[in-house]
Structure 1
Amino acid sequence: MRTLVRTLTPAVALLLLTGCTGGGAGVHGKPGSAGVRDPLFRGLGNGGYDVQHYALTLEYDPDTSHLEGTAEITARATQDLSSFNLDLHGLKVDGATVDGKEAAANRAGDELTLRPHRDIDKGRTFRTVVRYSGEPQTITDDDEEKSEEGWLETRSGALAVGEPSGSMAWFPSNNHPSDKATYDITVTVPKGLQAISNGEPAKPKTTGGSRTYAWKSRQPMASYLATLAIGDYKVTPSRTSTGLPVLTAVDPAVGKKYAQLIAQVPEIVEWGEENFGRYPFSSAGVIVVPEGDVGYALETQTKPVIPVNELPDTLVHEIAHQWFGNSVTPKSWKDMWLNEGFATYAEWIWHEDFDATPAKESFAAAFADDSNWAFPPADPPSAAEVSEKPVYDRGAMVLHKVRQAVGEKAFFEIVKGWAQEHRHGNASTADFTSYLEEKSGKDLTELWDTWLYGMDKPASP
């Protein structure tokens, strides 16, 4: 290459060396960053573009554990791009195009780097298609429980769950909460199995021994909230009193004894609307799986995944996440308490409304638990601790102290306003504290210093 470049004009040589073949007059792109420098998960996500839409076309056979996938990703460049990255774990890339032309693809661990045929100008919308295949993998987290996420094989199929990083085990993405997009997920499985995902379904189609399911998520979704449940499910549609579609998918192994509780989903959604404001999505639901399929519940968008041993409090918790975490999504993983503190406090309010247990009693129990004082809720020290108790229970304690500080009526007005103002967006802890002080008209610095950021447990609640 050096010999060839010396025979060319300097301008042409520069084009060859940078891989630029004409991204605009006088414009030469730069690689998008690998990672968005999240303070806890520095390798997740990518810079240089903003995804608008994912269209995933998948085919999975549980007998062979083989996945064939095509991901069509529509994105807008936020800089002049010569190359960009996607997060993808384990699967083989069979080919990639950008705007219909073949793109060079390179792998380094979980980073897939694509170099398009032409540089992409800042502000331009472009379409990437990645074809991939293989056996999707389970990812083990660094937390104390060694939680498993990604692609989990089950009794009759598979379950895909993605918090915080597991979605890259089944599709390439900009895998960080700060980049939300709409989704179309189409899945072909052997006839006799169901494929349940986020959003609303189209009518399934049967061809030979296969059945294809198509799901559409019209409102933006963070990649970690995407889910796919393949197996033998009983699917039951219903509606709330206001007409919102509700779909429950229950593994038959769960049995009938939980049917009455699962039927409460519309009631819980309506209760959430009374306390948090208008439900943020075009449908609701739940996916209930047997013990052993997954070791935790997850607030996957519109259809939380819940192991049967986690009912009933967790049902309230995960439905509350549809407002807090799913619609109002954290800017970084350090802001996780905005998800979990609100969802935990929703449980306290539910018990207050239906079990005659005042929130102050739930607060007192959490205050007495020394494990809640291991670190401040707004400052988890590492990725391994992002799902530990201080993020949940002490996060809820922060909200109870705010309720006491601003008063009952103002508190619920502020909660509804927060959910509405940041609907389908991203927000940080700083956004929340500023919003609350502005709307309440109070200086809450002492409250934040003690309950949100403080290391030491106060002498009394």
Structure 2
Amino acid sequence: MLFVAATVLSAAAFGVGTSFGADEPAGGGAFDVGAYDIAMTYRPESGTLRAVAVVDATAIARLDRFALHLSGPAVRAVTVNAKPATFAREGAEELVIVPARPLAPGAPLRVRVEYEGTPGAGWLPTVSGGATAFQGSSGAWFPAHEDAHDRADFRLTATVPPGWGVVSVGREEPVPQGATAAVFRWSEPNVDPAHLAVSVDRFAFERSTLADGTPVVDAYAPGLREATAPLAHRLPEILDFLAGRFGRYPFRAAGNVFTHVNDDGPATAPQTRPVYLGAGNARFMTLDAVVHEQAHQWYGVSAAANGPADACLAECFAVYATWLWNEAKDGADLDARYRSQVEEKKDDAGFWQELYRPGTAPGIGMYGKGPLALHALRRYVGEAAFGRLLAQWPREHRAGYADWPMFEAFAQRVVGRDLSGFLAAWFRAAGVPAEEYLRPVPGLRRG
């Protein structure tokens, strides 16, 4: 799940540099990142890292200062376009940088940051002595342009002691042979820092390819392979099924990462390779969980929600993907499931909260009400129109961001009729929808 509450560890933010006065606010000047190139050495025994990150960007407006997100590690040096820059920490998460000379709009911007120490909030220890970065916490381990919908190319070279492994997003690249330490390289084009993760552990790796040659890497933390490998081995079948409903797989690599932070650790969907933070808990580590997180590669990662209020564009569709999987693979009667859940929840006011309210995240209700709304929509518009809607949305918004009103307009265009009453009743309103919108599914009891 992409939008999920999680408890993450806090680490003290510290650094060196020149402090700005109270009348000099932290700059978040406009710039567009083109690439991140991170070289890091991680020491599992101490939980610390040393790293150099190079951020290649372009100034959009005049820049006399700008900010990157970095919490935790101490910053040792910063250069901008190969010249020493002044820097300081603003609060716990911002690294504010002042270049030697202001940059004009359109000027290239190469920022090199040397840093070391304990990663920041969102860097989570695993029960097997490793660690994993919670998705969306990129600033815990490298200086990132977060909260900006700024996709960029990503490259990581990670060094760990022998016997340890590092897995991130994208494709695994060749590494030097004969080194005394273990080196891992990963790269992925056009990725938002919000969709990045990295995990370190004594991983067992399985490498394979999909039928079209797409490389697959599955990584298992100690003690997890026996239980989770049967789920990972269904990946080609899962991606083939989802591509049949949502269009072609949107990325050039795939896989899964199975690790264990705690029994309540959520599953997350970084670009190309979901991470299951509670993979040791058989109650939650299920085939449906894998289908759900892989569905996010279309709904939530490639076609991303614009903000928290639009989370249904990720979660409602990922949950309904498991319904479609259950229907196709297990013969589940989705009409019967819908009827049963509507009857069970009809008097539960908390269940029927809005799925879209401007400025407010919909909350946990989207995991229950969301698939009901989509199943009702499926029956309301018909199978052919619903199929077109499922496939065209991720294709039209590939590598982009969209909000819920855009989806409403899109749905009405694809279906070819006025859906405003239905969409208002199911998504924008609280309470049980009116009869005409609640009961497009045959057999639902009235009264």
TM-score (norm 1): 0.82
CA distance in 2, matches of 1:269, 1:399: 21
Question: Paired residue for 1:64?
Answer: 46
After TM superposition, the structure 1 = structure 2 runs for residues 18-417 of structure 1, keeping only pairs within 5 Å, are: 46=28, 48-109=30-91, 110-137=93-120, 139=121, 149-163=122-136, 166-176=137-147, 178-205=149-176, 208-218=179-189, 220-290=190-260, 292=262, 295-306=265-276, 307-308=278-279, 309=281, 310-367=285-342, 368-369=344-345, 370=348, 373=351, 375-379=353-357, 388-417=363-392
Q: Secondary structure at the match of 2:239?
A: helix
Q: Secondary structure at the match of 2:65?
A: strand
For residue 417 of structure 1, report the CA deviation from its aligned partner.
1.2
What one-letter code is carried by the residue in structure 2 that aligns with 1:115? V
For residue 217 of structure 1, report the CA deviation from its aligned partner.
0.4
In the superposition, relative to structure 1, how do residues 392 and 257 fare at CA in structure 2: closer, same or farther (>3 Å)?
closer
In the superposition, relative to structure 1, how do residues 222 and 54 fare at CA in structure 2: closer, same or farther (>3 Å)?
same
**Which structure 1 segments of 5+ residues have no match?**
1-18, 20-30, 35-45, 140-148
In the superposition, relative to structure 1, how do residues 257 and 151 fare at CA in structure 2: closer, same or farther (>3 Å)?
closer
Post-superposition Cα deviations, 1:185-217, rounded to whole Å, max 9, x if no partner, equal 110100111111111111233565312111010
Post-superposition Cα deviations, 1:7-63, rounded to whole Å, max 9, x if no partner, equal xxxxxxxxxxxx9xxxxxxxxxxx9986xxxxxxxxxxx551222211111110011
CA distance in 2, matches of 1:161, 1:453: 30
In the superposition, relative to structure 1, how do residues 364 and 291 fare at CA in structure 2: closer, same or farther (>3 Å)?
farther
For residue 289 of structure 1, report the CA deviation from its aligned partner.
1.7
The size of the alignment, in residue pairs, is 405
Question: Paired residue for 1:438?
Answer: 413
Post-superposition Cα deviations, 1:241-266, rounded to whole Å, max 9, x if no partner, equal 23322111112301424332221011
CA distance in 1, matches of 2:243, 2:386: 15
RMSD between aligned residues: 2.4
Q: Secondary structure at the match of 1:187?
A: strand
Q: Verify the 8 A CA contact 2:352 2:432 in the aligned structure 1.
A: no
- Report percent identity of matched pairs: 30
CA distance in 2, matches of 1:341, 1:426: 16
For residue 358 of structure 1, report the CA deviation from its aligned partner.
2.9
Q: Secondary structure at the match of 2:313?
A: helix
For residue 319 of structure 1, report the CA deviation from its aligned partner.
0.4
Q: Verify the 8 A CA contact 1:375 1:455 in the aligned structure 2.
A: yes
In the superposition, relative to structure 1, how do residues 403 and 98 fare at CA in structure 2: closer, same or farther (>3 Å)?
same
For residue 274 of structure 1, report the CA deviation from its aligned partner.
0.6
Post-superposition Cα deviations, 1:298-335, rounded to whole Å, max 9, x if no partner, equal 01111101232322210000000011111111222221
In the superposition, relative to structure 1, how do residues 57 and 365 fare at CA in structure 2: closer, same or farther (>3 Å)?
farther
Q: Secondary structure at the match of 2:368?
A: helix
CA distance in 2, matches of 1:299, 1:68: 26
CA distance in 1, matches of 2:82, 2:98: 13
Q: Verify the 8 A CA contact 2:39 2:158 in the aligned structure 1.
A: yes
What one-letter code is carried by the residue in structure 2 that aligns with 1:150? W
CA distance in 2, matches of 1:270, 1:259: 18
Q: Verify the 8 A CA contact 1:161 1:225 in the aligned structure 2.
A: no
In the superposition, relative to structure 1, how do residues 249 and 372 fare at CA in structure 2: closer, same or farther (>3 Å)?
farther
In the superposition, relative to structure 1, how do residues 365 and 221 fare at CA in structure 2: closer, same or farther (>3 Å)?
farther
CA distance in 2, matches of 1:432, 1:209: 52
Post-superposition Cα deviations, 1:309-368, rounded to whole Å, max 9, x if no partner, equal 322210000000011111111222221111111101101111111122133344345544
For residue 405 of structure 1, report the CA deviation from its aligned partner.
2.8
In the superposition, relative to structure 1, how do residues 237 and 371 fare at CA in structure 2: closer, same or farther (>3 Å)?
farther
In the superposition, relative to structure 1, how do residues 82 and 335 fare at CA in structure 2: closer, same or farther (>3 Å)?
same
Identify which range, 338-347 or 101-110, moves more after superposition: 101-110
TM-score (norm 2): 0.84
CA distance in 1, matches of 2:36, 2:113: 11
For residue 392 of structure 1, report the CA deviation from its aligned partner.
2.6
For residue 429 of structure 1, report the CA deviation from its aligned partner.
1.1
What one-letter code is carried by the residue in structure 2 that aligns with 1:421? E
